Amino acid sequence: MNKLFQISIVTLILISNYLAGQQKLSLNDAVKITLENNLDIKIVENQDEIFKNNASFLNSGYLPTISSNAGINKSEQNIEIETPNNLSGKLDNMKSENSYSNISLNYILLDNSGRNFNYKKSKELSNRSKLEVKEVIENTLLQLFTVYYEVCRLSEEREIIKSSLEISKTRLERKNTEFEFGQSTKLEVLNAEVDVNTDSIKLLSSIKNLSNAKRDLNLIMNVDLNSNYDLDKNIFYNSKDKISEFYNNAAENNTRLKIYDKSVDISNYELKSIKSTYLPTIGLVGSYDWNESINDNPYAFFNKNIYDGISGGINLSWNIFNSGKRITANKNAKINLENSKIEKEKVFLIFQKELNNAYETYINNLFILKVQEKSLLTSENNFLRNLEKYNIGIVSSIEFRRAQINLLNAKLSRNTAMYEGKVSELYFLKVAGAIIGSSF
């Protein structure tokens, strides 16, 4: 009895720890916390900001480049002069000073749509990045839902095992009382004690698994790992009409397919951008210059010179041949475009397989749930009949225990089927591109 007492005490402590300080947490609350705190989502959102910056008009090449420079140079020299006519002279500490400033403008007037293709490419890169953010959010939500419902399942499992343990404890108390009055044997008491120990160990194992699952949930939400929540265990399934609608629109809504559509567009713009470099570009150039020179050399043609003015013009630049690098880049761009189309086709085939597998799994799980619900009703009726017979001594402890275990297994199986059905529906919604914004 000491071992039984110890197990019971440990079980009660663990249960009380879980029940203490619990906060209510609905699935919508969990989604909100995850979207705000999840680290994977934060990282991919920051990466999206980079693509957004790269796709801005400031990075498009359509704006001119303006540069400016200025400076001043000073010198002090000693000059000694000697002419062919033997005339000579010497000047010491001759000073000169030169100041200048310049501002210039360069603008590409025509580049055969190269800027346009690069700008469109950067826009598509930004659009693909947004889809990648959405895909990370979808994967994170699916992970959240899976762990959330696993915590719900284990919470229900704990209560089911706890209820079965209470039945075993009641039976043990009864056998102890019967043994005291000589109406039962020591063997039956020991068998009842073994069953209590077995059920207590099951409960401890369930509590341990629940504790691990709760930490997994807290990790996804990026909150304190020791936070303890009372989850909303209600489950609602989408209607058959809704599921059919999601299935029919899956190819249009699947995020992964959209990402590969964008990859094809990006490769196409890359090829067009390279082709545009085969033709010349026409640019506009302009500048304003100011220069001032001062020197005190008495032999100089002038001692001070200042000029300023504006200049401008149009230039043509044509990179006729650059060692064959452009030809290679063009060939590689064509291959990349072809590969993008092949990858898109491959991903579509994988999508079709995943969609049909997810749909069939969901339908099968719903069928299994109905079967388990019927099995549970049968097990409950069987247990109640055995309980009545056990109370009047018609059924043995072994037969009663068998009915109790059958009921326990039926409840656990039905509990598992209920949550597996919901998780399989959520996975189907993810593949169908409908997990964001759907009712849960």
Q: What are 5-24's pLDDT values in tens digits? A: 455 555 555 555 544 557 89
402 CB-contact burial (10 Å; exposed 0-12 / middle 13-18 / buried 19+):
middle
The whole-number pLDDT of residue 18 equals 47
User: DSSP secondary-structure letter at 171?
Assistant: H
pLDDT class of 253 with cuts at 50, 70, 90: very high
The whole-number pLDDT of residue 1 equals 46
Q: Is the pLDDT of residue 158 over 60?
A: yes
Range in 150-159, 261-270, 284-293 with the lowest mean pLDDT: 284-293
Q: Is the pLDDT of residue 88 over 80?
A: no
Strand partners, 283: 108, 315
User: What pTM does this model have?
Assistant: 0.84
Range in 300-304, 340-344, 432-436 with the lowest mean pLDDT: 300-304
Question: What digits encode the pLDDT tens for the residues 21-61?
Answer: 578 999 999 999 999 999 999 999 999 999 899 889 888 88
Question: What digits encode the pLDDT tens for the residues 204-233?
Answer: 999 999 999 999 999 999 999 999 999 999
pLDDT class of 303 with cuts at 50, 70, 90: low
User: For residue 161, how far is the Cα from the chain centroid?
Assistant: 36
Q: Is the pLDDT of residue 161 over 90?
A: yes
CB 347 within 8 A of CB 257: yes
CB 108 within 8 A of CB 276: no
How far, in Å, CA of 290 to CA of 102, rounded? 6
The whole-number pLDDT of residue 17 equals 53
The whole-number pLDDT of residue 211 equals 96
The whole-number pLDDT of residue 389 equals 94
Q: Is the pLDDT of residue 249 over 60?
A: yes
Task: Provide the token pair at 265.
Answer: 């567009």
CB 114 within 8 A of CB 282: no
- Strand, coil or helix: 382: helix
pLDDT, mean over the chain: 89
The whole-number pLDDT of residue 159 equals 97
Highest mean pLDDT among 108-112, 248-252, 296-300: 248-252
The whole-number pLDDT of residue 333 equals 95
Range in 71-80, 263-272, 280-289 with the lowest mean pLDDT: 71-80
Highest mean pLDDT among 17-26, 136-145, 277-286: 136-145
How far, in Å, CA of 199 to CA of 167, rounded? 10
Residue with tokens 């990648």: 132
- Read off the pLDDT of each residue in 285-303 and give the average, rounded to a whole number: 72
* Phi then psi dihedrals of residue 106, to 5 deg: -130, 135
The whole-number pLDDT of residue 300 equals 52
How far, in Å, CA of 364 to CA of 359, rounded? 9
Q: Is the pLDDT of residue 143 over 90?
A: yes
How far, in Å, CA of 171 to CA of 190, rounded? 11
Domains of the chain: 2-64+111-281+322-431 (1.20.1600.10)
